[in-house]
Structure 1
Amino acid sequence: MYLHLGQNEIVPYRRIIGIFDLDKCSTSRRTRDYLAAAQREGVVLDVSGDLPKSFVVCDHPYHDQIVYLSQLNSATLASRAERSHFQNNFE
């Protein structure tokens, strides 16, 4: 099962650690520090193609974590993930 993040990027559902609203979370110093550190480590992938609205943190086989910046809002991504998870469990 996969989650489409936008711009032809998909991630396996089992790898998702969290889905976050960029506007709400970027007010926190800890979040800004985390994203800055991830950027320095080269583990941020901008798949937004425009102004990102959310970020998705995933585990990765070659890095501790990878951060995807998405143009889709966090509510849309969370809804997709929940809907896919719900459908998969009852099919």
Structure 2
Amino acid sequence: MLLHLGDEEVIHSKDVLAILDINALKASELASEFLKKHESNRSLTDLSGNAAKSVVITDKTIYLSPLSASTLKKRASDRLELENGWNIK
């Protein structure tokens, strides 16, 4: 299934390795270095216009999303339930 990350960017939900809150990453020096490294390698895509709320990690690209991590996780979970044929209440 597809997962909308914001700014008209859609990826396959199966490609998502992690969805993280941006504030948790900013608090970590190691995570900040991780983001800077990917930004310099041009494998970081900012969809938020410098107002990121979450980070979505795939095997090829790191996305900064304007949507919260909880919103993205819920969307991914809802789609997973649909794939498995479960009913959403």
2:51 is aligned with 1:51:
yes
The answer to whether the 8 Å contact 1:7/1:49 transfers is no
Count of residue correspondences: 86
Instruction: Give the letter for the 1:45 counterpart.
Output: T
Which residue of structure 2 aligns with residue 79 of structure 1? 74
Any gaps of 5 or more consecutive residues in structure 1? 60-64
Large movers: runs of 4+ above 2 Å: none
* Percent identity of equivalent pairs: 30
Stretch moving more, 26-35 or 49-58? 49-58
Which residue of structure 1 aligns with residue 33 of structure 2? 33
Which residue of structure 1 aligns with residue 11 of structure 2? 11
Quick one: distance in 2 between partners of 1:10 and 1:82?
16
Instruction: Give the letter for the 1:76 counterpart.
Output: T
Describe the superposition over 1:44-85 as per-residue Cα deviations: whole angstroms up to 9, x where unpaired: 1111135111110112xxxxx311110000000000000100
The answer to whether the 8 Å contact 1:56/1:70 transfers is yes
Quick one: distance in 1 between partners of 2:26 and 2:50?
17
Say what the alpha-carbon RMSD is for the aligned residues. 1.2
2:22 is aligned with 1:22:
yes
Quick one: distance in 2 between partners of 1:22 and 1:39?
15
TM-score, length-normalised on structure 2? 0.90
Any gaps of 5 or more consecutive residues in structure 2? none
